Amino acid sequence: MDRGNLNLDSRKSPFFGLPFHRLTMEEAVAVIDGFIRSGAPHWITPASVTMIFWCRRNPVLRQMVAGSDLVLNDGMGLIYASRLLGRPLPENLGGPLIMERLMRHAAAQGYSVYFLGAKQEMLTRAIQNFQNKYPSLKVVGYHDGYFSSSKEPEIVEDIQGAQPDILLVAMGSPREEFFIYNHLQEMGVPLCLDVGGAFDVAAGMTQLAPKWVRMAGLEWFYRVMQEPRRLWKRYILAIPWFAFSVIWQVIHERLAPSKIKN
* Burial class of 148 by CB neighbour count within 10 A (0 to 12, 13 to 18, 19+): exposed
- Residue 163 structural domain: 3-249
Report whether 159 contacts 116 (CB < 8 A).
Answer: yes
Residue 98: predicted pLDDT = 96
Work out the number of other CB atoms within 10 angstroms of the CB of residue 253: 16
Does residue 257 belong to any structural domain of this protein?
A: no
Does residue 260 belong to any structural domain of this protein?
A: no
Does residue 107 belong to any structural domain of this protein?
A: yes
Report whether 62 contacts 17 (CB < 8 A).
Answer: yes
pTM for the model: 0.87
Does residue 225 belong to any structural domain of this protein?
A: yes
* Burial class of 199 by CB neighbour count within 10 A (0 to 12, 13 to 18, 19+): buried
Work out the number of other CB atoms within 10 angstroms of the CB of residue 14: 13
High-pLDDT (> 90) share of the chain, %: 63
**255 pLDDT higher than 80:** no
Does residue 134 belong to any structural domain of this protein?
A: yes
Average pLDDT, the chain: 87
Does residue 254 belong to any structural domain of this protein?
A: no
C-alpha angle 23/3/61, rounded to 5°?
55
Does residue 39 belong to any structural domain of this protein?
A: yes
Q: At what angle do helices 76-84 and 228-255 cross, to 10 degrees?
A: 10
High-pLDDT (> 70) share of the chain, %: 83
Mean pLDDT on 91-99: 93
Number of alpha carbons in the 13 Å side-chain half-sphere of residue 126: 32
Using alpha carbons, select from 137, 24, 116, 19 the residue that is nearest to residue 68. 19
Query: How many domains does the structure of the chain reveal?
Result: 1
In one-letter notation, the amino acid at residue 169 is V
Mean pLDDT on 104-123: 97
Task: Encode pLDDT of 150-193 as tens digits.
Answer: 999 999 999 999 999 999 999 988 999 999 999 999 999 999 99
Residue 257: predicted pLDDT = 55
Task: Encode pLDDT of 186-234 as tens digits.
Answer: 999 999 999 988 999 899 887 666 675 566 666 655 565 666 566 556 6
Residue 217: predicted pLDDT = 63
Does residue 112 belong to any structural domain of this protein?
A: yes
